[in-house]
Homo-oligomer: A and B are copies of this chain.
Amino acid sequence: MNHPTPEHLKKTARGEPVTLLEAVSEGLFEEMVRDDSVFLMGEDIGVYGGAFKVTRGFLDYFGDLRVIDTPIAEGGFTGAAAGAAHMGLRPVVEMQFMDFISPAYDVLTNYIATSLYRGAGPMPIVVRGPVGGGNRGGPFHSQNVEMAFFHTPGFKIVYPSTAYDAKGLIKAAIRDDNPVIFEEHKALYRAPTLREVLPDEDYIVPLGKARTVREGSDLTLVTYGAMVHKSVEAAKKLEQDDGVGVEIIDLRTLLPLDEDAIVESLKRTGRVLIVHEDTRTGGIAGEIAIRLNERAFEWLDAPILRVTAIDSPVPYAGSLEDYFLPQVEDIVTAGRYLAAY
């Protein structure tokens, strides 16, 4: 701890805008400074600072007992995180790409998510890493992983769309006593349009609370992650071209789902469109739809619809991937249809 804070982690202190990636870095850094029990594990996070450089400078500052370069063994080090969490540490595990969380699926779903229930105590673990498509990464460097964990009771799942939220949510995730899957979209990491000046003081964004991105009275659009920004674009178009007022809800936390926020909005608009980048069948839209049936069926003036990626692996070639991913035009079409319903 004799090292000074690395300059690139002092942007907020200097009042400079930060990217979403820098916001995550700052959040991690501050939590590690605040709480000795927080430590990091992952592949190439130390010397190299992580494949995306989220932890650049951390090794020098915190030393190799708190920033651990692991073998390529996602199951092994995630399991080790569980052991460390048992002993009162608060591990933050990086998956180099979240696609590679799969080898840890067993220990995450069977051990970590069930620990509290089995009487083995809380599991204050964050598993974080880059997700999402649009970067020509092909089938193994582009996945969204929320639905692999959404069905397992015990997890929380977080997926920020702005720098402010990313910092506040990663801090909240680290302080949470439940295991949190934390997804960071690669296309948002360094997006210049997402750079913003963050508050210099310590803040968190509470888990489980959605954010109203914009208000509108004709249609509720529920989304998260990179799709928030495509949805905003679509909403602007719908407003300008069609005079349709679109209310956008950014879920931020997917589990637990802030259904109150959605229900309240639905009660005002009568229409719901869900947009997710993840593939279609078994995506989160289904759960939202049935919860709205349970809680607000009578307010529905139109079917609950969704715009999503198609049901296939993520293809590599740009033309294929663009088709695979939901595009602004798809959202506009769906919104227009619903508004006219």
A294 touches B303 (CB 8 A): yes
Query: A289 CA to B286 CA in the complex, in Å?
Result: 6
Please pick, from B105, B287, B300, B313, the residue contacting A118 in the complex, using a CB distance under 8 A: B313
Q: List residues 159-200 of chain A with CB under 8 A from any CB of chain B.
A: none
A293 close to B (CB within 8 Å): yes
Question: Closest residue of chain B to A114, judged by CB?
Answer: B313
Query: A311 CA to B291 CA in the complex, in Å?
Result: 14
Residues of B within 8 A of A257 (CB): 281
A302 close to B (CB within 8 Å): yes
Query: Given A118-B139, A140-B110, A313-B154 in contact, is the A290-B297 Cβ separation under 8 Å?
Result: no
A306 close to B (CB within 8 Å): yes
A282 close to B (CB within 8 Å): yes
A203 close to B (CB within 8 Å): no
Rounded to whole Å, the gap between the CB of A20 and the closest CB of chain B is 26
A137 close to B (CB within 8 Å): no
Q: Taking the full assembly, how many copies of this chain does it contain? A: 2
> Total interface residues on A, using CB and 8 Å?
49
Rounded to whole Å, the gap between the CB of A116 and the closest CB of chain B is 10
Query: A302 CA to B105 CA in the complex, in Å?
Result: 38
Residues of B within 8 A of A153 (CB): 279, 281, 311-313
Contact residues of A with B, CB < 8 Å? 75, 99, 102-103, 105-106, 109-110, 113-114, 117-118, 139-140, 147-148, 150-151, 153-154, 255, 257, 274, 278-279, 281-290, 293-294, 297-298, 300, 302-306, 311-313, 315
21 contacts between A and B (CB under 8 A): A105-B106, A109-B148, A110-B140, A117-B312, A118-B313, A150-B281, A151-B278, A151-B281, A154-B313, A255-B281, A282-B287, A285-B290, A286-B286, A286-B288, A289-B293, A290-B290, A293-B303, A294-B303, A294-B305, A297-B304, A298-B303
